[in-house]
A and B are shown apart, each in its own frame.
Chain A
Amino acid sequence: MEGTNRETGVYEVNGSKEGPTAVVIGGMHGNEVNGYRVAANATNWELDAGRLLVIPLANIVAIERNSRRGPDGDLNRLFPSGQKPESALARAIWGVVKDTDPDVVIDLHRSRGLFNTHRRWIGQVLLLTEAHGERAIDTAEYVIDYMNENHVPRTMRFHRFTMADIHDTDRDTGMLIQKVQRDIGALGFLIESTEFLLDLETQLRWTTTITEQLLDQNGIQRTA
C-alpha cells in the first residue's frame, strides 16, 4: 500500500542465532488499542534466536478513526482460505505474511466482554485454528495456565484465560489465522484480551506476556 494513506510499516527483528520465524500483527481492528500498542513495542524487542516480523498498525485508517472497521469493512474477515484476500490492504498484508514463510503467526485483538460469560463477546481467549494439532494445543494450554497462575487474580474468576477453536470446521471465517493455517500450514494464534473491568496498562501487560510466552514456546525468546 506504498504511497497511499493506508501505507504502514513492516518491521523485522532478528535474533543473534538462527531460529524459527514469527509474524506479529496488531491493529487489524482500529479500536483495539492493546493490539497495536503491544505490536508497536515488539518492534524494539531483542531476541536470542529466530526472526520476528511485526506489522503493528495493520489497518491504519481504522486506527486513526478508532473504529473496528476500515474503508473495506472488517479487515479480519477478508482472508478467505484458498482464495485471494478480498481487499487491496488484505492482499498486501497477506503478501508480507506469505513471503515471510512464518512458523507461527500471532494476531492481537481485544474484545468488549468475556468469553463464556457474555453471549456476544470472546474476551480472554486464545483462539486457534481448527487443524492446530497437538503442538499448538500444548502451547496454548501452557500459555493459558501460565497467565492464569501468574497474572490473573484468583478471585477474578470470569477473567481467567481459556482456549477456543475457530468453530465450524467447514466454514471459512475469512480470518487471517485460519488462512495462515490452511494455505501455508503455519500455526496461527489470535489473542483476544478484554477491556471489561481492566485498565489499559493491564491489558497491555497481559497481551505482551501472552505474546512473549507464545513466541517463547515456539523457540523465539525475548531477551530485552
Chain B
Amino acid sequence: MMGERITLRKIIIAPAVWVSFALLVFPLALSDIDSRLFSPLALPGYVLFVCMTVIGDILPKVRNFGFRLYWVPFIVVCYGVSLALGAGYYALCRRYTIQR
C-alpha cells in the first residue's frame, strides 16, 4: 500500500485498521469475561469504554440503559477510531515513502 494511492476501500480492509481494532476491543472483552485477565493492553479500550459510559450517564435519553448495552456502540466507535488511526498510519507511510 505504501506509495500507492490510498482509497477508502483499501483503508477499510487494511491490516493496520484491524490490528488497532483488535487491540482496542479484545483485551477489554477478555477482561470483561474474567477480570483477572485485565492487562495493560486493555487500557485504551477501557478508557474509551469508561468515557462513553460517562457521557451516556448524563444524557437524558440513554441514561437508564444498562452499561452492558454500551458494547454495541463501543465496537462501532472502536472501528471508527481504528479507521482514523489506520488512515493516519498509511498517510504517514506514503508521505515517508514519497520523500525518500
User: Are B63 and A155 in touch, CB under 8 angstroms?
Assistant: no
B84 to chain A, nearest CB (A): 23
A-chain residues with CB within 8 Å of residue B34 when the two chains form the complex: 199, 201-202
For chain A, the count of residues having a C-beta within 8 Å of the partner chain is 19
User: Are A202 and B43 in touch, CB under 8 angstroms?
Assistant: no
User: Are B57 and A118 in touch, CB under 8 angstroms?
Assistant: yes
B30 to chain A, nearest CB (A): 11
B-chain residues with CB within 8 Å of residue A196 when the two chains form the complex: 53, 67
Which one of B28, B32, B49, B67 has the highest number of Cβ atoms from chain A below 10 Å of its Cβ? B67
A171 sits at the interface (CB 8 A): no
A224 sits at the interface (CB 8 A): no
User: Are A197 and B31 in touch, CB under 8 angstroms?
Assistant: yes
A117 sits at the interface (CB 8 A): yes
A153 sits at the interface (CB 8 A): yes
Q: Mark A96-130, 1 if CB is under 8 A from B, else 0.
A: 00000000000000001110011111000000000
A-chain residues with CB within 8 Å of residue B46 when the two chains form the complex: 155-156, 158, 197
Q: Mark A195-213, 1 if CB is under 8 A from B, else 0.
A: 1111101100000000000
User: Are A117 and B54 in touch, CB under 8 angstroms?
Assistant: yes
CB-CB under 8 A for A117 and B50, given A112-B66, A156-B38: yes
Assembly CA distance A125 to B41 (angstroms): 26
B residues at A contact (CB < 8 Å) = 28, 31-36, 38-40, 42-43, 46, 49-50, 53-54, 57-58, 63, 66-67
